[in-house]
Amino acid sequence: MCGFVCLWNVGDEALAAAMIEKIAHRGPDAVAVTRAPHAPVVMAHCRLSIIGPQDGAQPIHQGDDILVVNGEIYNHVDLRAVLGESVFETQSDSETILHLSRTASRRWVSRLDGMFAFVLATRGRILAGRDPLGIKPLYVARLGGGLAFASELKAFDGLAVSDIEAIPPGSLFDSNGDMRRWFRMPQGAAEAETGLDEQATWRELRLVLEDAVKKWMVADVEVGAFLSGGLDSSIIAALAARAAPARLKTFSVGLEGSPDLVAARRVAAHIGSAHFEHAFTPDDVARVLPHVIYHLESADVDLVRSAVPTHFAAALARRHVKAVLTGEGADELFAGYTYHHAYVDRPRALADELTRSLATMHNINLQRVDRITMAESLEARTPFLDRDLITFAQSIPASLKMRRTDPSAAESTGPTTEKWILRKACQDLLPHDLVWRKKAQFDEGSGTVDALREALMIMEGAKEPLDRAAEGAVYERLLRARYRDPERVLANAGKWESDRVALAV
């Protein structure tokens, strides 16, 4: 896991060094700036060593090609076997990108399985690619007569750049052509076909989940797990505890006595993890809020609320491990948000909404997870967003995800259960009441909403809690105070509630 900068047709090593310094928190283990001798490119890289820690330094420079990568390629062992071990000079998973690009296949990037962003200068052109969901960030901007690439927007702050935009998820930028979309989100299924074997479906889902967790635990360092006590993180932690080579470390945060802390202790005891927790206070929230918003690169109210507990969890985990598993993606795959209940009698609309939200995670929840964990030099991994798991989950009818659970009740009034198929698939992993516990948002279960309310009153000297609009105004003010060019950051920020699939009246 890392951060990088690439300047194309901008021969300024000092500028690259200054840009990488702004995102050096992403990789404290090593920083390097390299000018390619046979191409108009300067690359800078800051490294957090996870796979191949002894010989995985970047930029990777072989022949006329030079490469920087952020992320993990989980099928690198298989790719090495296909490409031939003799062509490799290191044990780094990132090197597979270089050798794949040299094959005759035009769709070579689609063979990469993992979370990644990269820039490759080769044969007089530059290529920049991003993983299917956009788990790892990548931005491009125009700088003079050339291009500048960076892992975070703050690398561009104060520079005379223009047209900053994110490389879209699942896309490959080619300076000899244009942007090519190499991955498209599979459309979600709606109604169950007649005769569908529900038990066989959830049993297969369980197997796919187990494979995803094992794959996303591959590392040369210890991998822990965030554990909020909610369903998603508890499932990941329970499966990871079974697959871990040593006792799994789990991490939980919240206000003292909050539901998340209580539930997480129960889950940790049940799965036998070495559990660590931190209880924060409203004063703690007020202290870290400017730091969180600066690194988040967004002032969206919903993102800030969930970024605060993520910060405390990341700071706690980094004292013990370099990488953690998280439960992000389960709500988008299996209909876990409160607003999804309104779609219970509209499975086609629900399937479309889940598909839409998966495709837009990159600058919402995935941005939060990436920025806030990397601010603490911690790698976050999201097994629910494994490509094979996404493909299988999207084939499961939406009617099995959000489901009425009382067959005797009238169709329009019966209780509904979110993530029904996921709960069935994992019901043996956890205590029954935790498996069927109603979802609480991370910011709610951890007590962050209450802590933020009090923290904002402290910061603003207010006698009454701020309403949502006033809360958002504070966040925007804090963001503007930290950036020379805040409009660029705000222009690239996503909104959690934007463009939802409308329900027919």
* Strand-pair partners of 113: none
386 is an annotated ligand-binding site residue:
no
DSSP states of 126-153? EEEEE-TT--S--EEEEETTEEEEESSG
Q: How far apart, in Å, are the Cα atoms of 363 and each of 83, 116, 366?
A: 34, 15, 6
CB 333 within 8 A of CB 393: yes
Q: Which two tokens stand for residue 190?
A: 């709606």
Residue 391 φ then ψ, to 5°: -60, -45
**Up-side HSE of residue 259: CA atoms within 13 Å toward CB?**
16
**Separation of alpha carbons 17 and 344, rounded Å:** 52
Give one word for 257, left, alpha or beta, with left for phi > 0 and alpha for psi -120 to 50: left
- Residue 179, number of CB atoms within 10 A of its CB: 13
Spatial CB neighbours of 223, under 8 Å, sequence gap ≥ 6: 217, 240, 244, 321, 323, 324, 325, 381
Q: Which of 295, 339, 321 is nearest to 379 (CA)?
A: 321
The three-state secondary structure class of 8 is strand
Tell whether the torsion through CA atoms of 229, 231, 235 and 236 is positive or negative: negative
- Residues taking part in catalysis: 2
Spatial CB neighbours of 415, under 8 Å, sequence gap ≥ 6: 404, 405, 406, 409
Q: In the chain, helix, strand, coil percent, each to 5?
A: 45, 20, 35
Q: How far apart, in Å, are the Cα atoms of 378 and each of 136, 167, 215, 310, 327?
A: 13, 23, 19, 11, 16
| 176 alpha carbon, distance to own chain's centre | 30
**Separation of alpha carbons 160 and 162, rounded Å:** 7
**Separation of alpha carbons 448 and 481, rounded Å:** 23
Residue 184 φ then ψ, to 5°: -125, 140
221 is an annotated ligand-binding site residue:
no
- Residue 30, number of CB atoms within 10 A of its CB: 15
Longest dimension (CA), the chain: 74
* Binding-site annotation, residues for ATP: 253
